[in-house]
Structure 1
Amino acid sequence: MKEITTEELRMRLEKGDVLNLIDVRENDEVAEGIIPGAKHIPLGDVEARVGELDKSVEYIMICRSGGRSGRATQALSDAGYDVTNMVGGMLEWNGKTE
Structure 2
Amino acid sequence: LQIDDLTAELETAPSKCLHLDAKNQVFREGLLSMKGMQKKCEKLEKNKKKLEQEVVNLRSHIEMYMIEHSQVEQYKREIEERARQDLVEKLKEV
TM-score (ref. length: structure 2): 0.17
| Larger helix fraction of residues | 2
Structure with more relative contact order (C-alpha pairs < 8 Å, separation 6 or more): 1
| Larger strand fraction of residues | 1
